[in-house]
Amino acid sequence: MCTSGALFVQGDIRESDSLGVAIVGMRNPSAYGRRMTQKLAAALAEQGITVISGLVRGIDAEAHQAAMDAGGRTIGVLGCGLNVNYPAGHEELRRRISGQGAVVTELNCNYPPRAENFPRRNRLISGLALATVVVEAAHRSGALLTARLALEQGRELMAVPGPVESHRSAGCHRILKEGAHLVESAEDIIAVLPAYVQEALTIPSRKMKSAQKTMGNNPAAPRTKRPCALNAEESIIFNCLEEGPNTTEGVTKLTSLRPETVSSILLTLELQGALRQIEGGIYEII
């Protein structure tokens, strides 16, 4: 029996996963397709973007693995129940995703992987993401269904071009002709995302690098002694900032504390003179 409206989760879904991009494509990609998927997924993960895909062989598996190898988060969407081992041989991949993101499905725990399940799964993949990127898809491909669903849901649609002679690129070239954004790098993806995503990810990361570089050029700068009366959560945040300047969002992501808790503690430590806020909403230890 299938449960409509429910979402079964193995792992955890965080607020930061709302900044997600889906990467989908063929189950039998070329070496080029695998390489581009790895490049894009890793670069997005390094920016703090959650990579979403369908956990099957090919492009999906490459996207999940590359995101995790880069230290990022990923969400795998199943076309079966959580108790079903599908596809066979992906047990370790599912275990890793559950520990570094989440495996999700709309289907009851023992529901088998039937053909009619996968259009529903594709709708969930595109719906969880701000944008869908297609890497290698033939003219008749499930990835193109995900692309159509993304447009119906008001999401951005993108595609990676490939060799014009390759049937693996035919679907990508078709949706590019129809108006999908052309993608050659992660920067192309981020440039199309909403402005608040670019502010949250791209600009603060550049400013943090600049702040860390400035600090590295001035190692003799005096530092405030560690406050003596820190509680457990304050100590976690202070320890995080000892690793380098960061934003409220960055500290939240690294510590897994609630955003409102992080904001309150940062303000308290700033008022105590232990921290200061610099350009771009970045906090550093004085």
pLDDT of residue 226: 64
Give 197-250 as a DSSP string: HHHHHHHHHHHHHHHHHHHHT-TT---PPPPSS--HHHHHHHHHHHT--EEHHH
Q: Which CATH number fits domain 8-193: 3.20.20.70, 3.40.710.10, 3.40.190.10, 3.40.50.450?
A: 3.40.50.450
pLDDT at 280: 63
Q: Within 13 Å of residue 163, how many CA atoms lie on the same side as its CB? A: 9
Nearest to 75 by CA among 64, 87, 90: 64
What is the distance of C-alpha 127 from the center of its chain? 14
pLDDT, tens only, 65-108 = 999 999 999 999 999 999 999 988 899 999 999 999 999 999 99
pLDDT at residue 213 tops 60: no
Structure tokens at 199: 């502010």
The pLDDT of residue 68: 96
Domain 8-193 shares a fold with domain 197-285? no
Span 130-157, average pLDDT: 95
Lookup result for tokens 């990127």: 133
What pLDDT, on a 0 to 100 scale, did the predictor assign at position 5? 65
The residues facing 181 across adjacent strands are: 158
What is the rounded distance in angstroms from the CA atom of residue 279 to the CA atom of residue 61? 39
Query: Please, which pLDDT band fits residue 225 given cuts at 50, 70 and 90?
Result: low
Q: Which helix (H) or strand (E) holds 39?
A: helix 31-46
What are the boundaries of each domain within the chain? Answer: 8-193, 197-285
pLDDT in tens, 12-57: 999 889 999 999 999 999 999 999 999 999 999 999 999 999 999 9
pLDDT at residue 160 tops 50: yes
Flag whether pLDDT at 215 surpasses 50. Answer: no
273 or 169, greater pLDDT: 169
The whole-number pLDDT of residue 223 equals 47
Specify the range with the lowest mean pLDDT, choosing from 6-20, 107-121, 190-204. 190-204
**pLDDT of 279 higher than 80:** no
Highest mean pLDDT among 90-99, 252-261, 263-272: 90-99
Rounded average pLDDT over 238-263 = 85
Q: Which residue has the higher pLDDT, 132 or 286?
A: 132
Model confidence at 148: pLDDT above 80: yes
Q: Lowest mean pLDDT: which of 98-102, 162-166, 176-180, 230-234?
A: 230-234
What is the DSSP secondary structure assignment for residue 275, as one 8-state letter? E
Percent of the chain with pLDDT strictly greater than 90: 61
Q: Which of 37, 77, 29 has the alpha carbon at shortest distance from 57?
A: 29
What is the model's pLDDT at position 4? 53
H or E element: which one contains 271? helix 259-271
CATH 3.40.50.300 fits 197-285, yes or no: no
Cβ atoms of 135 and 24 within 8 Å: the answer is yes
Give the per-residue pLDDT at 206.
Answer: 46
Confidence class for position 221, pLDDT limits 50, 70, 90: very low
pLDDT band at 219 (very low <50, low <70, confident <90, very high): very low
